[in-house]
Amino acid sequence: MPKKILFLVIIFSAVVIAIASVSIVKTRLSNEAPKEVELTNVKVGYLNLLSSALPLYLAQDEKYFEKRGVKAEGVELASANLAVEALTRGDIVAAPFISVFPYLSAEIVDPGKIKLFALSDFTEDNRFDALLIRPDSPIKSLQDLSGKKIAVFPGSTATAFIKTYLQTNKVDISKNEFVQLPPQSHLQALQSKSVDAAYSFEPTFTLATEEGGMKILDESIYAKLFNHTPIAAGMINTKFASENPVLAKKIIDAFNESYSSMRKKDGLARTVSQKYFKLTDKVTQNVGMAYMTGADSDLFNKFVDFVVSIGELKQKPDLSSIFYKP
């Protein structure tokens, strides 16, 4: 065979072998399991309350974080005060539902450490709070609560609001006793007659009425005093959001999707509630959802003015730059 032809044969064979090798490699790669995308870990705070924890649980179950490349680690905190402190220090980067009162107090003495990205939206159409009495109670109206012992959620806020509501309805509260008790103790306190009434939040009062036989004397106190009550907020650490704008937006977008699902996918939200809080079917179907909405600065300004007027906040902090802006 002439050398030229032999050289061409060798070249052709090499090309065929190279093509075959590439094909084999591609086949092997296509058969391999896809590598898992590495997620960015963040710590998110919540309280062990349905209103505070549900947006996180729902987002985790439905993978609202994961699809954005984020893994949210839930950090349970004992109170809103501790949540605000953890946010201020940066121990957690965000929280989906925390009372605004410790935040507002912190803004007065050490402003700018936290930004708000969502507000609670309590209305009369979607109950969150109620005054409970025993089924055999002689109390028939708000006026009958004068001089009585009333269980309230720990902290000053619930007491301030229920006092204001009763006074607005011409109830003499000069001899009333407001007993701060953890939510799980409200039903027991009513049953044992250690209190005459209880001002309770969800899911406590639905548990008390559906399973404990208690009666609702009045409901939606927050909304009746201030409609669309922004008493809680989604919060994010300011420094974290400034240094990690893309990641901060992903976290907030995940929570916003969760808030939206709570409104638009009621069955899903209730299923998640039942899963994590071990609610019965009856309670699950009747419990009120704590909805969230966008950051409305005008509404929040009016609310803070109202809070100052009832003495729950001593002074109004500067609210000009408290909301998160991407």
pLDDT digits (tens, 9 = 90+) for 116-169: 999 999 999 988 999 999 999 999 999 999 999 999 999 889 999 999 999 999
Calpha distance 47→102 (Å, rounded): 14
3-state secondary structure of 306: helix
Average pLDDT, the chain: 90
Bridge partners (DSSP) of residue 41 are 71
**Reported pTM:** 0.84
118 contacts 188 by C-beta, under 8 angstroms: no
Locate all alpha helices (DSSP H) within 147-289, ordered by sequence. Answer: 156-168, 186-191, 204-210, 221-225, 238-243, 245-264, 266-277, 281-286
Supply angle C-alpha 255, 258, 260, rounded to 5. 115
Name the nearest CA neighbour of 314 among 146, 101, 122, 143.
Answer: 101
Ramachandran angles phi, psi of 149, nearest 5°: -100, 125
196 contacts 131 by C-beta, under 8 angstroms: no
Name the nearest CA neighbour of 119 among 249, 305, 292, 255.
Answer: 292
Residue 326 contacts by C-beta under 8 Å, 6 or more apart in sequence?
245, 248, 249, 252
Calpha distance 290→48 (Å, rounded): 14
DSSP 21-49: HHHHHHHHHHHSPPPPPPPEEEEEEEESS
322 contacts 295 by C-beta, under 8 angstroms: no
What is the per-residue pLDDT for 208?
95
| CATH 3.10.580.10 applies to domain 40-123+228-309 | no
Name the nearest CA neighbour of 44 among 83, 111, 95, 85.
Answer: 95
Ramachandran angles phi, psi of 21, nearest 5°: -65, -45
Report the CATH fold assignment for 129-219: D-Maltodextrin-Binding Protein; domain 2 (3.40.190)
Q: For 178-214, b where at least 16 C-beta lie within 10 A, e where not — what string?
A: beebebebbbebbeeeebbbbbbbbbbbbbbbbebeb
* Cα first-last separation, the chain: 74
Q: Where in the chain is the domain with CATH 3.40.190.10?
A: 40-123+228-309, 129-219
Calpha distance 214→197 (Å, rounded): 10
161 contacts 306 by C-beta, under 8 angstroms: no
What is the per-residue pLDDT for 6?
47
Calpha distance 272→54 (Å, rounded): 8
Residue 312 contacts by C-beta under 8 Å, 6 or more apart in sequence?
101, 156, 157, 160, 161
State the pairing for strand pair 177-180/149-152. Answer: parallel
pLDDT in tens, the chain (326 residues): 555 554 444 554 554 455 445 454 454 544 554 555 588 999 999 999 999 999 999 999 999 999 999 999 999 999 999 999 999 999 999 999 999 999 999 999 999 999 999 999 999 998 899 999 999 999 999 999 999 999 999 988 999 999 999 999 999 999 999 999 999 999 999 999 999 999 999 999 999 999 999 999 999 999 999 999 999 999 999 999 999 999 999 999 999 999 999 999 999 999 999 999 999 999 999 999 999 999 999 999 999 999 999 999 999 999 999 999 98
Q: Which two tokens stand for residue 47?
A: 């309280």
What is the per-residue pLDDT for 126?
86
What is the per-residue pLDDT for 21?
52
Bridge partners (DSSP) of residue 44 are 74, 94
